[in-house]
Chains A and B, each alone.
Chain A
Amino acid sequence: MSSNRWVPIGAGVGLRLPHIAEVAATRPSVPWLEIHPENFLANPHATELLLEVRRDYPISVHTVGVSVGSVGGIDHVHLQRVRTLVDMVDPVFVSGHLAWSTHDGEYLNDLLPLPYDEETLRLVAAHIDEVQDSLGRPYLLENPSSYLGFDTSTMSELDFLREVVRRTGCRLLCDVSNVYLSAHNMGYDPYWYIDGLPIGAVGELHLGGFTPEEDEAEPGAQILIDTHAGRIAEPVWELYARAVRRFGAKPTLIEWDNDIPSFAVLLAEARRADEIAGRALAPESRCAVAS
């Protein structure tokens, strides 16, 4: 079920179309790269460059359009296209989001929230089974960035994720920025969330920038928007250190999807992630946590 490509250690970066020609030409020093397949499926030239790049870098495929939470089911045409790309790239990971984005033949271009109850659990688990069977490899499911929840939910997001892992054997992609952002927006402790994720299931970490906006409903308060349009915030770096101490050294990805800077800026963020992970895993740091 798994790729034969080696799992990278250290922080990689999201490879977006503005950088692919540069990366193909200069082969910068970065341990791995992650792509959104939706950027490549309709772009033969970009796919050609990707297939060059993959010779020198482990690639992770992070889908934004495989909607495991849609009542209408998985878009089989899209899943088949993703599978074709996955077969060509042979990625180290294939991942996606705990969310929904398609409805009755329409794609809503967003990661929309789900209520956490038994009905949703059965649906999401069935769809993840379908995706894993189709791709022939485990799927990593990412915790969402949340602005909203549902009054009808009967379980916490953590309980939901744990149960999805138990039922499907999928793994988790812990987006540390999403944890911080969701905890801020929904009013819980992000450290409690990190400590509640099943250690053995977490296979990858994400870090991305968010944008604070004034919360129109609460003057003086801020809501954090998951824009991937800036540097990683200091409190997220602190939470990342906790995540590394809890989950161990995991492949970590820097995501930057809007107002995309030079590749050098992304590499600098990746190096900072490596430094923080190194410090978090140093013996004295681990003792400090234990005490």
Chain B
Amino acid sequence: MPSLAEMQSRIRRAVIDGDTAGMVALLIGGCDPERRLAIHQRHYRSSLVAAIRTKFPATAWLLGIPCLREAAGQFVRQHPPAAPCIAEYGEEFPRFLSTYSCAARVPYLYSFAELEWHLGQVAIAVDRPTLALEVFSRFEANTLMHTCLTLQSGLRYLHASWPVDDLMKLYLTGTAPAEYRLAPADVWLEVRGARGEFRIDRLDAANFVFRKAVLDGQSIGVAAERALDANIGFDVGRAFTTLVRSGHVIGTTSRDRGGQA
């Protein structure tokens, strides 16, 4: 008689991989327990494929539902969820999809699907009260450069080598023409959302680098240095002021003192 651990390993193989070896003799239920085991196999696959489809409707529109469904079926088999919150499942799907055979004809697919994933994530975020620019008037310049900013949780910064934001807007507005030519072009995107809504804005490369570095936890000084590497004419003061006034900043921490505003 197998141990419970061995039994659960076998059921796991049956449910995810379809391998029922060594399982059927242990089961009871109806005339053919193996067919009943298939109920759990089907549920695993169909529930997770449905979850992926729900999260990537625009990608399904772009690629076609059959291709997306087939890719999602492979994905759920090769990448089972790691935790019970299925809302968090699927972050790796854009990367997986971009390597999938029927996606080879769409070179911007990864960027498009990644954008869609982040739209879904920021749309369920919650905005927090923002810091006014006046808060920073009491900071000395040197202190400010060593200050890290906490940004709204519904912010993402994405770089793509194709204008996938234009394509996404066609989908979202239902205005896709019969034929549309997409040419490669670098875009630096800021995706912001909260409470069911979102927006996509383009930034210039230096501003993108600055804001992304701030979001990643770098001090204002380090973020500014990186932005200046991207564009020697980058205006730090203006970029900082615009960032604060846009309502993105909700807190500060000092690298040196560890304090919070």
**Taking beta carbons and an 8 Å cutoff, which residues of A are in contact with B?**
21, 38-39, 41-46, 48, 64-67, 70-72, 75, 77-78, 81, 100-110, 112, 114-115, 119-120, 123, 146-152, 185-186, 215-218, 221, 223, 225
Q: Which of A66, A107, A123, A146 contacts B81 (CB 8 A)?
A: A107
Binding-face segment, B39-47, B173-181, B251-259: B39-47
Contact assessment for B87 and A120 in the assembled complex, using a CB-CB cutoff below 8 Å: no
| Pairwise interchain contact A149-B27, C-beta atoms closer than 8 A | yes
Q: How far is the CB of A119 from chain B (nearest CB, A)?
A: 5
Chain A residues with CB under 8 Å of B12's CB are: 103-104, 106, 108
A216 contacts B196, C-beta separation under 8 Å: no
What are the residues of chain B within 8 A of A119 when measuring CB–CB? Answer: 3-4
Given A44-B124, A115-B7, residue A106 in contact with residue B30 (CB < 8 A): no
For B47, list chain A residues within 8 Å (CB). 109-110
Q: Which chain B residues numbered 188 to 244 have a C-beta less than 8 Å away from chain A?
A: 194-196
B1-40: which have CB < 8 Å to A?
Answer: 1-5, 7-9, 11-12, 15-16, 25-33, 35-37, 39-40
A109 close to B83 (CB less than 8 A): no
Chain A residues positioned under 8 Å from B80 (CB to CB)? 106-108
Which residue of chain B has the shortest Cβ distance to A215 in the bound complex? B30
A65 adjacent to B194 (CB under 8 Å): no
Please indicate the chain A residues that have their CB under 8 angstroms from the CB of B194 in the complex: 45
Q: How far is the CA of A78 from the CA of B81 in the complex (A)?
A: 13
List the 4 closest pairs (A to B, CB-CB), nearest first: A65-B84, A217-B32, A42-B87, A106-B80
CB atoms of B8 and A103 under 8 A apart: yes
Distance A61 CA – B225 CA, assembled complex (angstroms): 49
Q: How far is the CB of A64 from chain B (nearest CB, A)?
A: 7
Contact in complex: B83, A107 (CB < 8 Å): yes
Contact A185–B11 (Cβ < 8 Å): no
CA–CA, A100 and B4, complex, Å: 11
- Nearest Cβ distance between residue A272 and chain B, in whole angstroms? 28
CB-CB under 8 A for A43 and B15, given A38-B84, A38-B85, A110-B40: no
Size category of the binding interface on chain B: 35 or more
- Which residue from A64, A104, A150 sits with its C-beta under 8 Å from B27? A150
Query: Are A218 and B31 in contact (CB-based, < 8 A)?
Result: yes
Task: Find chain A residues with CB under 8 A from B11 CB.
Answer: 112
Chain B residues with CB under 8 Å of A21's CB are 196
Docked-complex contact A39 and B87, CB < 8 angstroms? yes
Chain A neighbourhood of B62, CB < 8 A:
none
With both beta carbons as reference points, the residue of chain B lying nearest to A77 in the complex is identified as: B83
Across the interface, do A42 and B88 meet the contact criterion of CB distance under 8 Å? yes
Residue from B29, B44, B153 within 8 A of A185 (CB atoms)? B29
Q: List 14 A–B pairs whose Cβ atoms lie within 8 Å, in order of A's numbering.
A: A43-B87, A45-B124, A71-B4, A78-B83, A78-B85, A101-B84, A108-B80, A147-B39, A148-B36, A149-B27, A150-B7, A150-B28, A152-B7, A217-B35
Interface status of B125 (Cβ within 8 A of chain A) = yes
Residues of B within 8 A of A110 (CB): 15, 40, 43-44, 47
Complex Cα distance, B159 from A261, in Å, reads 40
Q: B84 to chain A: which residues have CB within 8 Å? A: 38, 64-67, 75, 78, 101-102, 107, 109
- Residue pair A148, B27 in contact (C-beta under 8 Å): yes
Complex CA distance for A75 and B83, rounded to whole angstroms: 8
Is there contact, CB below 8 Å, between B81 and A109? yes
Instruction: List 18 additional A-B contacts (Cβ < 8 Å) besides A42-B85, A67-B84, A109-B43.
Output: A44-B125, A44-B153, A45-B123, A46-B124, A65-B84, A71-B8, A103-B12, A105-B82, A106-B16, A107-B82, A108-B80, A109-B84, A112-B15, A146-B29, A147-B29, A149-B28, A215-B31, A217-B30
A109: B residues at CB distance < 8 A: 43-44, 47-48, 81, 84, 86
Q: Which of A43, A216, A225 contacts B32 (CB 8 A)?
A: A216
| Residue of A with least CB distance to B88 | A42
Q: Which residues of A contact B85 (CB under 8 A)?
A: 38, 41-42, 65, 78, 81
Residues of B72-121 at the interface with A, using a CB-CB cut-off of 8 Å, are 80-88
Set of chain A residues within 8 Å of B16, measured between Cβ atoms = 106, 108
Contact A152 B31 (CB under 8 A): no
- State how many angstroms separate the Cβ of B250 from the closest Cβ of chain A: 13
Nearest-neighbor residue (CB-CB) of A153 within chain B: B28
Across the interface, do B39 and A65 meet the contact criterion of CB distance under 8 Å?
Answer: no
Q: Say whether B8 contacts A223, CB under 8 Å.
A: no
B126 in the interface (beta carbon within 8 A)? yes
With the chains together, A182 CA to B184 CA distance in Å? 57
Contact A45 B1 (CB under 8 A): no
A46 vs B196: C-alpha distance when bound (angstroms): 10
Structural contact, B44 and A108, CB atoms closer than 8 A:
yes
Contact of A106 among B36, B82, B153 (CB under 8 A): B82
B188 to chain A minimum Cβ distance, whole angstroms, is 26
Interface centre among A64, A148, A218 (most CB of B within 10 A): A148
Bound Cα distance A123, B9 (Å):
16
User: Nearest Cβ in chain B — how far from A229, in angstroms?
Assistant: 12
